[in-house]
Structure 1
Amino acid sequence: MTKNPLLEPFNTAYNTAPFSKINDEHFLPAFKNAIAKAKAEIDDIVNSPEAATFQNTIEALDFSGEQLDRISSIFFNLNSAETNETIQKIAQEVSPLLSEFSNDITLNEDLFKRVKAVYNSKDELNLTTEQQTLLDKKYKSFSRNGANLIQDKKEKLREIDKILSQLKLKFGENVLAETNKFEMLITKESDLSGLPDGAKEAALQLAESKKKEGWLFTLDYPSYIPFVTYADNRELRKNITLAAGSKSFKGDDLDNQNIVLEIVKLRHERATLLGYKTHAHFVLEERMAETPKNVLNFSNELLLKAKPAAEREFKNLGNFAKTLDNIERLEKWDGSYYSEKLKQKLFSLDDELLKPYFKLENVINGAFTIANKLFDLNFQEIDTIDKYHEDVLTYKVTNPKGELISIFYADFFPRSGKRNGAWMTSFKPQYIKNGENSRPHVSIVCNFTKPTKTKPSLLTFNEVTTLFHEFGHALHGMLANTTYPSLSGTSVYWDFVELPSQVMENWCYEKEALELFAKHYETGEVIPMDLIDKIKASATFHEGMQTLRQLSFGLLDMSWHAGESPEVIKSVKAFESDVFKNTSLYPEIKETCMSTAFSHIFQGGYSSGYYSYKWAEVLDADAFEYFKENGVFNKTIANKFKECVLSQGGTDNPMTLYKRFRGQKPRPEALLKRAGLIEV
């Protein structure tokens, strides 16, 4: 084989990933080589003849494995955004190797002795707050991952971690395969009744691309969401809703039921092995919420406020559907359809009316303009760096002095190798080493409506807020300004990480912000004031139902992970149905199951953490209230948010950072008021 580009210095503009030179076959040897190199770096720390110090042990440990981290970020980002069978196969082979390597570090007794020696002398070391945080984090990464276990239990932990890494990958592969597998081909134009022209044109183009006659719909969000929202044909809405709800729940080779049970059982076994009551107790020890009890109290307090509102809204929706179409019983495939019709009736507002004002390019530029007004960032599209797919847009981000702040990748459209949803990630973290501030490479990945032959990509308002949400995460990564890579950017408690993303969504509702980018794609007309008023007026539409839905997902997550006897659970569906009893509004559907496709908690990092979205909503509502009181583009408040939150990463306790910004603890009343769940 020729030289492996992953193992050579990149020698690229801004040290970016050389995607055009990387082939799939480069990854496995690169991983093996980088793991060996990282192990040698650990050996150098362990075998140092000098006594353990913060610099030669804790700091050295944080900067070790840099090449391995870089290769991992490139590979696993591709596995999410541009995967194929070869990459998936490599992932199954590599994940146990990485799990083993991670265990080699945390279960290395000699290394732990050095870490422990520094930790035990921390009071005499005169460390900065960031250094203290790093020391605590490193010590806990050992103590919380088996360093204090006896040898046979350490081996058991290794075995569990290896199996878990493969199960999580398999779970995600099955969900992606199920998503890609489903196609609904419509050949009668009358079956398209109610659908917007843009959705019909996209479906026609998709069918043409697959050499099929008719209109093709899939489970990709830009195809699925318009269909269940607008299609008049109730039976077809039912078909696609059942397909979405039954992913990996069909008893075939893509079924995830046993994988779910196995993951839950192994996570619990791992937690108890480490001395914790449950997996949730293990996870939440390193979260703002601290304990399962606090999460449940928080969730139930919101549930108390949201459930009566949700039940009223659901009853009204049912009455509306009955009056309009004589629907006797509202089903899940009716929810989006009649909600949209009711919203149109109440507010004279629908997404088709708004979409012409939200051309993707304009929304991107709007996000950039707002970031400039708030945080002095300049975005310049560049074509001098490699992309992993032609759809990806690349930008150089600078400050007013022209200094590089970040490289930014944006990937907006669905394709077969990309998983559903939207997320932010990075190809390289920020850190300061040898006096040089090495800047981050940040990426956002979404699944928005593609341009058609006659129209550009026009976003729904929900897609607009999604873009701003992920862009908020990206700003957290871009503006990072910490010394250590493991504390940089979004490396914070998971119930704090959603604050920067969710707070950015608020600008989508503000006249001053909308007027910067919401312009008609054909005429250039700025969005009319009456539409802005309608957007604001409709912001709390069905907020009770939305809150109930979000809380139900968090409670399902906690039920899977805070129970003390997961091994007694035999049926995923029965368990899930029992959990949803207190929060479900729609009739039970026996063919569907959420858990088997709940990628956030079974593939991603949100196990025992899905409540974080609601938790962070309390933070973001309180934070944005501060902006509103002083002006949404108030430079002083924006600078405080940048300096106290966005730039700090995980260098201090998140509540300390928040209070430094806000001057007080967050108040739940701000969220309840914004959601219309309490009287103002």
Structure 2
Amino acid sequence: MISKSIKIAVLGSVILFTSCKEEPKTEDKLMTDNILLQEWEGPYQGVPAFDKMNVADIKEAVEKGMELQLKEIDAIANNEEAPTFENTIVAMESAGKPLNRVFAYYGIMSSNVSSPEFREVQTELAPKLSEFRSKISQNEKLFQRIKAVYEASQKKPLEPQAQRVVDLTYKQFEMNGANLDAEKKKRYAEINKELSTLYTKFSNNVLHDEENYVTYLTKDQLGGLSDGFIKSAAKIATDKGQDGKYAITNTRSSMDPFLTYSTNRELRKQVWENYYSRGDNGDEYDNNKLIAEILKLRKERVGLMGYDNYAEWRLQDRMAKTPENAMELMLKVWPAATARVKEEVADMQAVANELGDNITIEPWDYRYYAEKVRKKKYDLDSDEVKQYLQLDKLTEAMFFVAGELFNYKFTPVEEGSVPVFHEDVKVWEVTDKDSGKHIGLWYLDPYAREGKRSGAWATTYRSSTTFEGETNVLASNNSNFVKPAPGEAVLVSWDDATTFFHEFGHALHFFAADVKYPTLQGGVRDYTEFQSQLLERWLSTDKVINQFLVHHETGKPIPAELVEKIKKASTFNQGFSTTEYLASALIDMKLHLADPTNIDIDKFERETLDELGMPKELPMRHRTPHFGHVFSGEGYATAYYGYMWADVLTSDASEAFREAPSGFYDSEIADKLVKYLFAPRNAMDPAEAYRKFRGRDAKIEALMRDRGFPVPQE
């Protein structure tokens, strides 16, 4: 997932961080005193002063950054010269550097090291930021200049990247109400302001429930759990002032292994209910009413522009183009996925019966008995596999893949030479293997902690552009692995290792970018997950398995017979993983197609899942009350289907590598991968870029084969 924290939404799309290039000096005392506004200093073209950031500085820094950017925008809008690409579009691309710098820190405070103090400031700033965005998107003089440049370019096209920036900028303003009359513009801005407050509250409510619903175990309640997990749980409990106990935190990284291995069914149920009830506990942190209000405001806002629903408005500039196209894809896969769930549940029930467990499979049983089925069917023990999946070795494996495909070399920077925001964060320099050319820095923040949002994501602090001189890339990956006890290796599941590769794919997408203007760093949501999903495939390649999957104690490579079991089990539990994902994606789309008047969110979720035939033995991956992708902002709203859309591309592209003479390390295909799928970012239409890589459009058949589902017949 790409973090929303790396960007400041201005037009419902993004204004990306631009270069921290030298800019006119100001005598303004705030600029010199507030570290968050200052130009980045030090090596590597300057780096964020993460070690000096302070919550006390954030409010005045954001406010000053907005003030400075609005002055730049007003200067562009009021320029008396005739509008040109240079004095309008390029000038906009260059604007906002101080605020962009502030938001590098703001994103860290929001996602990685959040605190009650920051959340108060965040809540106060949310409506002010919304007003700021509206002042840009509703600047009539500015839009008329953009429109003039756009119309001129339709008669006399610019060079491809310049034309793409013009087209995207005009479309962003148009989609965000630039053509509305004054009265509708006023209401549009009011709605955005209300939404910004609701998004912040939604996100903070989920974080509250993650931090406050912790399950503490005693020694007699540890049945089935691995030694490494127990030691980590003990350390977390001690850190929380519960010495002698074992803490199961309310995050996926803690919940998932507990539900997979704990022999205590009642505790599994408790941990499951804590996790899937986030934002849905009927208290002051309950999100159901917030969601209803968000849906009403979104529908009203797009209605001002004549759209029937939010999905119709949102998808017009995505690969899917319409909600109907997105729904068609999901509903092609859904029957096969739910049919597979029935088979999986039958297998699990049979195992439970054989063991004499007098139970009927419930959602908190799924992972536990699925693991037993895996052992029975494939003689594959996930905990045995984990012994060969060390975080450090997986990191080396990712560097190896980056070297083979992108010719990158990752070298640890000297400790203390680059400021970090937490002692757990490590930094590497990225260079070209042959020329030694500096490309950027990669930051890794691997462990879960209080104040850090759950999940895994990638972000950039500075992106690559060339329009004002070549800039390097400062990118990061963020995970929530359970921090080990001192001296212990970090062992992860195969699924977590896959996610680690996935997020690294986003980082490589940032590093490989070859674009001139910041706007082109943005992405089409149902396309930008494709590159990262594709990189997951290299985890299971022979070169990675043979070199980097070694036992954490003996150092011996993973046995060939265990590898064979992993490959044979590659489609195992695809019913569960596909169905839990698709359920969330379908609910996302259906909520935004429904009439939100008097909507009861819990009831809508239940009834819609019943209509779809959702198996009762598993939940949605993200239940609506904690669906942050969709309700803590707008990045994935009516766009969560995009993972499936991207996976069609992924499966199809993977077959291109499988068919190549040297497989996944074929240099000719790898060159095309970098040239057409990674380097262009949004400088090229995604459908055109994919056709240049593959020679045709992607086909769904490869996806169905990958998941072991029946391939639809034409």
Instruction: Identify whether the pair has TM-score above 0.5, normalized to the shorter chain.
Output: yes
TM-score bracket, normalised by the shorter chain, equals over 0.9
Query: Which digits, 9 at most, give the CA deviation of each residue in 1:281-310, with x for residues without a partner?
Result: 111011100111111111111123323222
8 Å Cα contact 1:573-1:593 kept in structure 2? no
Percent identity reads: 34
The counterpart of 1:652, out of the listed 669, 673, 684, is: 684
| 1:473 equivalent in structure 2 | 506
Specify which of 140, 145, 162 is matched with residue 114 of structure 1. Answer: 145
Deviates more, 1:349-358 or 1:209-218: 209-218
Partner of 2:76: 45
Opposite residue 538 of structure 1, the aligned amino acid is: A
CA positional deviation for 1:614: 0.9
Matches of 1:151 and 1:17, distance apart in 2: 40
Where 2:481 maps in the other structure, the secondary structure is coil
AA matched with 1:637: I
Cα deviation 1:166-217 (Å, max 9, x = unaligned): 1111111111110110121222x33211111111111122222233232222
1:621 equivalent in alignment to 2:655: no
Number of the residue aligned with 2:449: 415
Residues 368-418 of structure 1: per-residue CA shift (max 9 Å, x gap): 011101110010111311101110111111112111212111111000010
The aligned runs of 1:452-531 (5 Å cut-off) are: 452-488=485-521, 491-531=522-562
CA change 1:518–1:588 in 2 (3 A) is: closer
Note if 1:210 corresponds to 2:243. no
Residues 314 and 585, structure 1, Cα contact 8 Å, conserved in 2: no
Which stretch has the larger CA shift, 412-421 or 425-434?
425-434
Gaps of at least 5 residues in structure 2 are 1-29
Question: For residues 593 and 647 of structure 1, what CA distance do their matches in structure 2 show?
Answer: 32
2:440 partner SS: strand
* SS of corresponding position for 1:433: coil
Residue number in structure 1 paired with 2:624: 595
Is 1:198 aligned with 2:234?
A: no
Number of aligned pairs? 673
Q: How does 1:6-25 map to 2 (within 5 A)?
A: 6-14=36-44, 15-25=46-56
Please tell me whether residue 33 in structure 1 is matched to residue 64 in structure 2.
Answer: yes
What amino acid is aligned across from residue 348 of structure 1 in structure 2? D
What whole-Å deviation, never above 9, does each CA across 1:402-439 have from its counterpart, x for those lacking one? 112121111110000101100111111221133x2112
* Aligned pair partner of 1:433 in 464, 467, 492: 467
Question: Matched residues in 2 for 1:528 and 1:337: separation?
Answer: 25
2:422 is aligned with 1:389: yes
Instruction: Say which SS state the counterpart of residue 416 (structure 1) adopts.
Output: coil
TM-score (normalised: structure 2) = 0.92
Structure 1 stretches of 5 or more lacking a match? Answer: none
Q: How many Å apart are 1:36 and its aligned residue?
A: 1.2
**1:530-565 deviation per Cα after TM superposition (whole angstroms, max 9, x unaligned):** 1111111111002123222221111000011122x2
What is the aligned partner in structure 1 of residue 216 from structure 2?
A: 185
Task: Write the letter of the residue equivalent to 1:321.
Answer: A
SS at match of 1:568: coil
CA contact (8 A) 2:701 2:711 kept: no
The aligned residue for residue 568 of structure 1 is: 598
Residue type of the alignment partner of 1:429: S
Match of 1:607 among 609, 620, 637: 637
Q: CA deviation at 1:593?
A: 8.9
Q: Which residue of 1 aligns with 2:367?
A: 336
The CA RMSD over aligned residues, in Å, is 1.8
The one of 267, 279, 289 aligned to 1:258: 289
Counterpart Cα distance in 1 of 2:77 and 2:580:
50
Return closer, same or farther for 1:280/1:648 CA change in 2, 3 Å cut-off: same
Corresponding residue number in structure 1 for 2:338: 307
Q: Is 2:314 the partner of 1:283?
A: yes
Which residue identity is paired with 1:573?
D
Aligned partner of 2:673: which letter? F
Q: 1:377 to 1:218 in 2, by over 3 A?
A: same
Distance 1:91 1:151 in 2: 29
Distance (Å, rounded) in 2 between the aligned partners of 1:142 and 1:206:
48
Offset, 1:588:
8.9
CA positional deviation for 1:345 = 1.4
Matched-pair contact (CA < 8 Å) for 2:53–2:105 = no
Return the letter of the residue paired with 1:408: W
How has the CA–CA distance of structure 1 residues 583 and 429 changed in structure 2, closer, same or farther, with 3 Å as cutoff?
farther
Tell me: CA distance 1:589–1:431, structure 2 relative to 1, closer, same or farther (3 Å).
Answer: closer
SS at match of 1:471: helix
Contact 2:439 2:511 in 1 (8 A): yes
1:85-104 Cα shifts (integer Å, max 9, x gaps)? 12111211222222111111
- Which among 658, 673, 680 is matched to residue 705 of structure 2? 673
Structure 2: how far apart are the matches of 1:336 and 1:327?
Answer: 17
Counterparts of 2:373 and 2:118, CA distance in 1: 45
> How far apart in 2 are the matches of 1:109 and 1:658?
37
Contact 2:580 2:619 in 1 (8 A): no
Q: 2:6: which partner in 1?
A: none
Match of 1:450 in 2: 483
Name the SS of the counterpart of 1:445 in structure 2: strand
* Residue range with higher mean Cα deviation, 156-165 or 523-532: 523-532
What SS does the aligned partner of 1:410 have? strand
Q: Residue 73 in 1 paired to residue 108 in 2?
A: no
| 1:101 partner SS | helix
Tell me, yes or no, if the aligned pair for 2:251 and 2:275 is still in contact at 8 Å. no
Does the C-alpha gap of structure 1 residues 253 and 30 become closer, same or farther in structure 2, counting only changes over 3 Å? same
Asked if structure 2 preserves the Cα contact closer than 8 Å seen for 1:555 and 1:579, the reply is no
Secondary structure of the residue aligned to 2:180 is coil
User: Deviations along 1:112-137, whole A, 9 cap, x unmatched?
Assistant: 11111111111343312222211111
The whole-number CA distance in structure 1 between the counterparts of 2:648 and 2:450 is: 36
**Distance change in 2, residues 1:579/1:388 (3 Å):** same
Counterpart contact for 1:392–1:410, Cα < 8 Å:
yes
What amino acid is aligned across from residue 595 of structure 1 in structure 2?
Answer: T
Partner residue in 2 for 1:127: 158
Is the 2:39–2:98 contact (alpha carbons within 8 Å) kept by the matching residues of 1? no
Aligned partners of 1:184 and 1:240 also within 8 Å: yes
- Residues of 2 paired with 1:548 and 1:404: CA distance? 43
AA in 1 matched with 2:683: T
Q: Is the 8 A contact 2:460 2:473 kept in 1?
A: yes
User: What residue number does 1:231 align with?
Assistant: 262
Amino acid corresponding to residue 195 of structure 1 in structure 2: L
Counterpart in 1 of 2:3?
none
* 8 Å Cα contact 1:280-1:558 kept in structure 2: yes
**Alpha-carbon offset, residue 320 of structure 1:** 2.4
Distance of 1:315 and 1:546 partners within structure 2: 16
The one-letter amino acid of 2:644's match is: K
Alpha-carbon distance between aligned partners in 2 of 1:53 and 1:211, rounded to the nearest angstrom: 62
Amino acid at match of 2:462: K
1:147-166 pair list within 5 angstroms: 147-166=178-197
In 2, distance between residues paired with 1:585 and 1:425?
35
Q: Distance in 1 between matches of 2:474 and 2:128?
A: 26
SS of the counterpart of 2:37?
coil
Moved more, 625-634 or 516-525: 516-525
- Counterpart code for 1:41: E
Q: What's the CA shift for 1:589?
A: 9.1
Is the counterpart of residue 664 in structure 1 residue 664 in structure 2? no
Cα offsets for 1:243-289 (capped at 9, x unmatched): 11111211111111111111111111111112211111111011100
Worse overlay, 41-50 or 330-339: 41-50
C-alpha contact 1:77 1:425 (8 A) present in aligned 2: no
Determine if contact 1:12/1:18 at 8 Å carries over to the other structure.
Answer: no
Tell me whether 116-125 or 468-477 shows the greater mean CA deviation: 116-125
Q: Does the residue aligned with 2:525 lie in a helix, a strand or coil?
A: coil
